[in-house]
Amino acid sequence: MNRAFLIPAIVVFVFLFVIPLGQSFYWSLTDFTGYDPELSFIGLANYSTILNDPSMLAGLGFTLMFAVGTMVVVTLVAIPLAVQMNKAFFGKNFVRSLWFFPAVPSMAILGLVWSYILSPLPSGVLNTLLNRWFGVDAVSWLSDDTLARWSVVFVGVWAQAGWHAVLYLAYLQSIPHEYYEVAKIDGASPRQQFFGITLPLLTPAMVISSFLLLTNGLKVFDLPYTLTGGGPGFSTYTITQSIIVSGVSQGRYGLASALAVMFTVAVGVIGFSQLKLTSVISRRFV
């Protein structure tokens, strides 16, 4: 009787995960277009198409760059920020809330807001201010390949740094105060205390935070899509955008499915390595 309570979850799991994943895998080996019910097996042809298509390769490349870029920069910003937030100062709650807030609204809307700020036109906000204060000519923030990529990463960091700082803060607060007192008596400098006590004890938090940043980064879609639309050219194209364009808009189900399968495997491998890494690290430090 009690097992009946499992039925809704099983139905959700079968219809929203098992069947579609199976279909994705099956279609990835076919030339299915959605219109023609006659589909034929084409083996791994879809996979080789992906590896030769410039737009899809660009999507893979930028998605990786975004995931790794935000992971590294957010971590470098969030840890010092958390250390500062852990001290007592006037306006602490205000500071924490303001840093944290960008993680709350929709990334799509924030991407649109930043598209006005970073507009490459001379009338863009940043360009207007740079021109007025420093006499700089209009910078092509979103219309130059490299600048556009870094602009997307920058906005991603802006939106997530405070959130991850709060995560680190929780771990910082669990470090016993005596550790620092003993270190001070032994004459350790603040710098030595940070590298000798704080950083090693933050390792579990770093593992979790970087895992979240990496997996969320791989799934990124909203931000580049609303900020740059994937451009200029395909420079800020993402895997998700490729899946939607080739699958839903162009009806190339086989191709989109192959991309989805590759994506699932990539996320799975990263998730698995993360689990391994966590157990190795926690055995060392805890």
Partner 1 sequence: MLLSIGMIAAAILIGVPLYYILVNSFKTQADMVTSPLGLPQEWFFGNWQDTLTDAGMYRSFANTIYVTVLGVALQLVVGAMAAYAMIISSSRTTKILGAVLLLGFIVPGQSTMIPLYRTLVGFNLVDDLNGLVVMYLGGSIFCYFLIQGYMRTLPFEVIEAARIDGASANQIFWRIVLPLIKPILVTVGVFQTMWVWNDFLLPTVFISSPQKKTVVLEVYNAVSEFTTDWPAFMTVTVVALIPMVVFFIFTQRHIVSGLLSGSVKG
Contact with partner 1 (CB under 8 A) among 76, 129, 136, 182: 129
Cα torsion angle, 36, 41, 47, 52, sign: negative
Residue from 64, 68, 167, 201 binding partner 1 (CB under 8 A): 167
Amino acid at 274: Q
110 close to 163: Cβ distance less than 8 angstroms? no
x/- map, 140-159, partner 1, by CB under 8 A: ------------------x-
State the Cα torsion 220-226-230-232 to the nearest 10°.
Answer: -140
Does 112 bind partner 1 (CB under 8 A)? Our answer is yes
Total binding residues toward partner 1, as defined by CB under 8 A: 85
- 11 vs 28: CA distance, rounded Å: 24
Residue 51 or 108: the one with the smaller Cβ distance to partner 1 is: 108
Q: How far is the CB of 61 from partner 1 (least distance, A)?
A: 17
In angstroms, give the least distance from the CB of 268 to partner 1.
Answer: 7
Q: CB of 183 within 8 A of CB of 196?
A: yes
- The verdict on 94 binding partner 1 (CB under 8 A) reads yes
User: The tokens 């840890």 sit on which residue?
Assistant: 79
Q: Cα dist. 133→30, 126, 127, 128 in Å?
A: 58, 10, 10, 9
**89 binding partner 1? (CB under 8 A):** yes
Shortest Cβ distance from residue 264 to partner 1 (Å)? 4
Q: How far is CA 76 from CA 168, 200, 216, in A?
A: 12, 15, 18
Determine, following the binding rule CB under 8 A, whether residue 30 of this chain makes contact with partner 1.
no
Task: Pick one of 46, 70, 160, 209: the residue that binds partner 1 (CB under 8 A).
Answer: 209
Q: Is 59 exposed, middle or buried (0-12, 13-18, 19+ CB in 10 A)?
A: buried
Round to whole Å and give the CA distance between 27 and 7.
Answer: 28
230 phi and psi angles, rounded to 5 deg: 95, -10
Nearer to partner 1, 156 or 162 (CB): 162
Q: Which of residues 218-277 bind partner 1 (CB under 8 A)?
A: 218-219, 221-222, 225-226, 239-240, 243-244, 247-248, 253, 256-257, 260-261, 263-264, 267-268, 271
Tokens 């055995």 belong to residue: 283
Between CA 81 and CA 84 the distance in angstroms is 5
Instruction: Quote the CA–CA distance of 96 and 206 in Å, as a whole number.
Output: 19
Binding mask 42-81 for partner 1 (x = CB under 8 A): ----------------------------------------
What minimum distance in Å lies between the beta carbon of 159 and partner 1? 10
Give the H/E segment covering residue 33.
Answer: none
Write out the binding residues for partner 1, residues 179-198 only, by CB under 8 A. none
Of the residues 33, 55, 128, 140, which one makes contact with partner 1 according to CB under 8 A = 128
Q: How far is the CB of 50 from partner 1 (least distance, A)?
A: 14
**Which one of the spans 36-44, 54-62, 123-131, 194-202 is the region binding partner 1 (CB under 8 A)?**
123-131
Distance CA 55, CA 242 (A): 8
With respect to partner 1, which residue has the nearer C-beta, 87 or 191?
87
